[in-house]
Amino acid sequence: MTYNKLTESCFFEARHAGTLKEGAPNLVYHRSGQAGFGDVIDLYLACDAQGGVVAARFQASGNPWLIAACEWMCARFEAQGIAAVAEIDYQTLIENFDIPRARYPVALQVEDAFKAIISEMRTRLEKKIMTEVQKHISEKKEDITLSPSALRHFTGMLAAKEGALGVLLSVKKTGCSGLSYVVDTLSEPKEDAIIQSLTDKWVLAVDRAAYPWLRGVHIDYVREGLNMRLVFQNPNQTGQCGCGESFTVDTLPKNA
């Protein structure tokens, strides 16, 4: 049996063969296959808090294409990170390593194993970020309320955005009456925020500078004609423009 140069290089110079110890940061482990029943791949991946790959290692029991592909993927992890490797599929592996048709399942197994460990790492990092969000809460309030319709709107919005931590509510100076509401997706921990639970998975974060003017707000999501829009019932406002998109308060927030 002959192998192409990439296969031989990765097989005979497998620098990433091995394991990672428990002390490695954000360490995840994944096994593909079962010992005694075909090829087996053990993957180890460690990342920093920002998702950068610190180290990638593998142990594999199988043919040279399997081992070479695992070495190549681990090297790409460390060089390019999770996002780049996630785009590699079995067809790329077949072409790069010139894997014969009878061995195509090798490429499928390697692809599935690496995508599985990427998914596990993303889940771990998301959980850690949520922990950091909670760590930076200096006070926790539950006095901003949502109607069932508004809650469904927000959860639908967040479900469509990968990596979303929750909803960020703030205000800005604008409009005919002074302030308008700003609703954004919270994509990273915000230290200077008031946090309350939105669901078991997501939070509602309120910009601290704007909190005095948002405290006690009730948010609804209503139909007006053919359109749907958010409606804010704010006990802190002293006035509201006719369009309902801006409101006034006695004192404007400094950083609005």
Q: Is residue 256 part of a domain?
A: no
If pLDDT is split at 50, 70 and 90, which confidence band does 150 have? very high
How many other C-beta atoms lie within 10 A of the C-beta of residue 194?
Answer: 22
Q: Averaging pLDDT over each range in 1-5, 67-71, 126-130, 188-192, which range is the top one?
A: 67-71
- pLDDT bin (cut points 50, 70, 90) of residue 143 is confident
**Any domain includes 244:** yes
Same domain, 16 and 110: yes
Residue 31 lies in a domain: yes
Q: Mean pLDDT for the chain?
A: 84
Among 75, 104, 100, 103, smallest CA distance to 89 is for 104
| 253: in domain | no
Query: Of 55-69, 86-100, 166-180, where does the model show the most confidence?
Result: 55-69
Whether 82 maps to a domain, the answer reads yes
115 and 151: one domain? no
Identify the pLDDT of residue 196.
Answer: 87
* Residues 104 and 16 reside in one and the same domain: yes
Evaluate whether residue 20 is within a structural domain: yes
Q: Is residue 254 part of a domain?
A: no
Mean pLDDT of 118-123: 84
pLDDT at 59: 94
**What is the predicted pLDDT for the residue at 139?**
47
pLDDT confidence of residue 238: 82
Each residue of 242-256: pLDDT tens digit? Answer: 665 678 876 655 544
Average pLDDT estimate for 129-156:
72
- Phi, psi (rounded to 5 degrees) for 125: -65, -40
pLDDT band at residue 63 using 50, 70 and 90 as cut-offs: very high
Q: Among 28-37, 38-47, 82-91, 179-188, where is mean pLDDT lowest?
A: 82-91
- CA geometry: angle at 93 spanning 101 and 67, to 5°? 90
Does 9 share its domain with 129? Answer: yes
Chain segment 103-113, per-residue pLDDT in tens: 999 999 999 99
User: How many structural domains comprise the chain?
Assistant: 2
Out of 134, 154, 185, a domain closes at 134
- Percent with pLDDT over 70 in the chain: 85
Q: What does the block give as tokens for 224?
A: 């007006």
Residue 71 and residue 85 in one domain: yes
Residue 83: its pLDDT value, please?
66
Contact 62, 40 (CB under 8 A): yes
* Domain limit, last residue, from 72, 105, 134: 134
For residue 78, pLDDT beyond 50: yes
Please identify, among 99, 134, 169, the residue that sits at the C-terminal boundary of a domain.
Answer: 134
CATH number at residue 125: 3.90.1010.10
Does residue 113 share a domain with residue 174?
Answer: no
Asked if residue 144 lies in contact with residue 169, where contact means CB atoms within 8 angstroms, the answer is yes
- CATH assignment at residue 153: 2.60.300.12
Contact 98, 7 (CB under 8 A): yes
Within a domain: residue 255?
Answer: no
The band of 123, judged by pLDDT with boundaries at 50, 70 and 90, is confident
pLDDT band at 176 (very low <50, low <70, confident <90, very high): low
SS3 state at 181: strand
The encoded tokens of residue 67 equal 């081992």
Judgement on whether residues 12 and 128 belong to the same structural domain of the protein: yes
Check residue 137 and give its pLDDT.
46
- Is the domain of 56 the same as that of 147? no
145 and 119 in a common domain: no
Verify that 101 and 187 share a domain, yes or no: no
**Same domain for 125 and 18:** yes
| Residue (of 79, 36, 29, 30) closest to 54 by Cα position | 79
Whether 93 and 151 share a structural domain: no
User: How does residue 125 score in pLDDT terms, banded at 50, 70 and 90?
Assistant: confident
Quote the CA–CA distance of 92 and 175 in Å, as a whole number: 53
Range of the domain at 17: 5-134
